[in-house]
Amino acid sequence: MSLRMNGAILSLSGKNCHIMSEKKQVRIGIVGLGNMGRFHADYLLKGEVARAELTAVSDAFPKSLESYADRVAVFENCEEMVRSGKIDALLIATPHYFHTVQGIDALHQGLHVLTEKPISVHKADCERLIAAHNKPGQVFAAMFQLRTDPKFEKIKKLISSGEMGQIVRVNWINTDWFRTEAYYASGGWRATWKGEGGGVLLNQCPHNLDLLQWFCGMPSKVRGFAQLGRYHDIEVEDNVSAFLEYSNGATGIFVTSTGETPGTNRLEIAGTRGRLVLEDGIISFTRNETDMHKFCEESKIGFAKPEVWEVDIPYADTGAQHKRITQNFVDAILDGASLIAPAREGIHSVELANSILYSSLIGQTVDLPLDSKAYEDKLKELIAQSAHIKKTREVAGEDFSKSFTK
């Protein structure tokens, strides 16, 4: 059954309801015209997202607006754009700390919001941002485009279907995030406690941490070892190892770095029905014919093992798609489609990053859920005590999109 209300259709189905807009086009405004903002603007201007139109952009630097002035409305102030009446939705592509204040403002003004990763710098700000999303029919999504990558979709399906049995161990060595000093010098906000709130965990790894919890859920305990500025002249972490414990007894290892080359990207997930490995773009699944726990209990031979099948898992090699997340966002606004990456789930990758770093800073294992206030207080302390002098310089332009499919 459906009812018409305030120019929209309210669809009622059982206990759930959602608002489907009668609008045929979503007017999108982008705030932040750095690498990611320009990337999103480019495909929107080309009409590569159906029923979406880029109608406005905002950036604090007037020079960044010049190339858009003859095509869309331009604003030096995001608050003005949000209140201009020219946009229905805000896409946030600014430095991390701005995600919270700009997201809350837009949500309070009734706009739909799609934010780049991470949704906020720390868990307490995530909680504030998520709490601002309280209007019926308002869509709030996060740009976790790796959830649309076919190889990760296939892994998620294998786990969710029960094909791997119960997860007992996960290891992800993710050290192919190599960055030079020039990268860190490209922006005054980069790799600072005040400007970015962290290093490799918060900048390069939100997608990996999102996938980790998407596949395996959140751990119950974390012990992190984060080295601050080991490889670079920065004050935040650029080399990290973490040990994870899950409530069902499963364990995990997460290793990442921006200072190691050639680096490794190897994901290994062990379940009671077999082991999955993703490396060099190949998904290999060694499947136990019998659940290993069942076999262990029932076998009468001390050194026996279950028979296994060696399977290479095929997938469509199309890579991650930002446009697919944006299209899904538009479809959710206009049709009530389910979100691939609801922003409320973005708190998990932030909490993992915060927990690993916090554990390292205090030298103790941290229980999850993380005490968000304790971590916020620690971050404020790091900002207040910072004596690092950030060096910046103009760097050569390059194709940063090659980093999208880690």
The mean pLDDT value for 238-264 works out to: 98
- Range name among 34-43, 143-152, 267-276, 384-393 with the lowest pLDDT average: 384-393
- Range name among 38-52, 139-153, 293-307, 383-397 with the lowest pLDDT average: 383-397
Residue type at 283?
I
pLDDT value at 405 more than 70: no
pLDDT value at 310 more than 90: yes
51-75 confidence digits (pLDDT tens): 999 999 999 999 999 999 999 999 9
pLDDT band at 115 (very low <50, low <70, confident <90, very high): very high
**Which residue in 285, 345, 325, 281 sits closest to 147, CA to CA?**
325
Would you state the pLDDT for residue 398? 61
Contact 280, 291 (CB under 8 A): no
Phi-psi region of 20 (alpha: psi -120 to 50; beta: other; left: phi over 0): beta
% of the chain surpassing 90 pLDDT: 87
pLDDT band at 19 (very low <50, low <70, confident <90, very high): very low
SS3 160: helix
Backbone φ and ψ for 236, nearest 5 degrees, come out as: -105, 180
DSSP symbol at 338: P
How far apart, in Å, are the Cα atoms of 179 and each of 151, 167, 231, 349?
A: 25, 33, 10, 21
pLDDT band at 10 (very low <50, low <70, confident <90, very high): very low
The mean pLDDT value for 203-228 works out to: 98
Would you state the pLDDT for residue 188? 87
317-358 confidence digits (pLDDT tens): 777 699 999 999 999 999 999 999 999 999 999 999 999 999
pTM of the model: 0.91
- CB neighbours of 297 closer than 8 A, spacing ≥ 6? none
pLDDT value at 20 more than 70: no
**Residue owning tokens 């990611």:** 36
Would you state the pLDDT for residue 142? 98
Would you state the pLDDT for residue 7? 38
pLDDT value at 173 more than 60: yes
127-144 confidence digits (pLDDT tens): 999 999 999 999 999 999
pLDDT band at 18 (very low <50, low <70, confident <90, very high): very low
Contacts 24+ apart (CB under 8 A), 182-186: 182/393, 182/395, 182/396, 183/395, 184/232, 184/233, 184/234, 185/391, 185/392, 185/393, 185/395, 186/392, 186/393, 186/394, 186/395
Would you state the pLDDT for residue 400? 54
The mean pLDDT value for 193-202 works out to: 96
What number of H helices and E strands is found in the chain? 13, 18
157-171 confidence digits (pLDDT tens): 999 999 999 999 999
% of the chain surpassing 70 pLDDT: 91
pLDDT value at 33 more than 80: yes
DSSP symbol at 404: T
Across all residues in the chain, what is the average pLDDT? 92
pLDDT value at 8 more than 90: no
